[in-house]
Amino acid sequence: MDTMPSETDVTTHFEEFALTPHTLGHVYFAGNLPAPPPLAYQVHFPRIEMVLDGQLVMEVGNNTGEDTRHAMDKGSVLYIPSESWNKPVLTKPVETLSILFGKQSFGISILRWNGENFDKAIKRNVLRRGPRTGAFIIQALEELRWHNQDQQTARLVVASLLSHISEITHSPPEILSKSKALFEAVRAYVEQHYHEALTRETVAQHFYVSPNYLSQLFTKEGKFKFNEYLNHTRLERAKCLLQEYDMKVKEVAHRCGFTDSNYFCRIFRAQTDRSPSEYRAQYRCKMYSATE
C-alpha cells in the first residue's frame, strides 16, 4: 500500500474510480435488520464504505432480519442508508474510504488497518453547494436498493458521486457570511438532533444566541420559521420510518421528536393530504407494483 494521503489530497485516492467506473467492484446495499450488534456503525445519515486497497469482510443488516457478510476487495462499495448498520471484520491489511452524506457537507475519511492496528485517520469535510446539489445521486442509490442486481448502473452512480465530490473539492463553494454560516450550523444541528426535545429556546442556548435572534436568522437566511423547519425535518424522517418499518404510528411520532402523536398526525396530513397510515399503505403499494 502507498503512504497515507494528506488532508489536502484525500480525493486523489478515489478519483481514479470516478474516471474509470469499470474498475469499481460489486456494489452492496445494507439494511436495518436485525438490531445492530456491538461495535457496529449506525448513524442518521446515508453513507458509503469503499475498499481502496486490500480486503475485508463486512457484516451488514438487511431487510429480512438476517445479518449478511460480504467479502469486499479493492473497488468494492457498500451503500448504507440512514439508520442502517455495518460492522467491518478486519483480518488483513486494508485501506477504506468512508463518505457520510450530510445535508450541508460530505464527511470524508480514509482509514488504514495494517493488520495489527489503525494508522491515523485522514478526515475532511467537503461543503456541498446546497442541500439539493448532488441529492439526485443519493436518491438514485436509494432506489437501486430495490434493484441491486443492476450492478452496471450502480457502479456508474457511485462513480458519479465520487466525481461530484472531487469536483466540488477542487472548486469549493464561496465562503459563507457569518450569519449564513451560523444558519447552516443550526440546520445541521437540527438534522442530527431532531428526535430530541428541541425547542427554539434550547437550540438558541446551544449556539449562545437569543431565541429572537434565532427566529430572525431563519427568517432572513431561510425565508421560513424555525418551528416550520424543525417540523419539516421531523416529518421527512417520519416518512422514511413509515416506508421502512412496521412500527406503530405513535412510535414513529415519538422517534421523530413528537411528544403528541395526535399533533404529529395533524401536521402530517396537512403536509401530505394523507394520514401516516395512508402514506405507508400507498408507498408500499407502489413499491410492490414496481417489483412485479
Give the angle 113-109-48 at the CA atoms, nearest 5°: 95
Strand partners, 70: 58
Q: Which structural domains are found in the chain, ordered by start?
A: 7-170 (no CATH), 178-291 (1.10.10.60)
DSSP string over 209-244: S-HHHHHHHIIIIISS-HHHHHHHHHHHHHHHHHHH
Q: pTM value?
A: 0.63
pLDDT (tens digit, 9 = 90+) per residue, 104-115?
789 999 999 998
Least reliable range by pLDDT among 49-53, 176-180, 204-208, 252-256: 176-180
Through-space distance between the first and last CA atoms of the chain, rounded to whole angstroms: 46
Whether the CB-CB separation of 224 and 216 falls below 8 Å is answered with no
- CA within 13 Å, CB half, 210: 3
In this predicted model, what pLDDT tens digit does every residue of 152-166 receive, in sequence order?
Answer: 999 999 999 999 998
Whole-Å CA distances, 144 to 36, 94, 172 = 23, 27, 29
Q: What is the mean pLDDT of residues 286-290?
A: 63
Q: What is the mean pLDDT of residues 105-133?
A: 84
Q: What is the pLDDT of residue 138?
A: 87
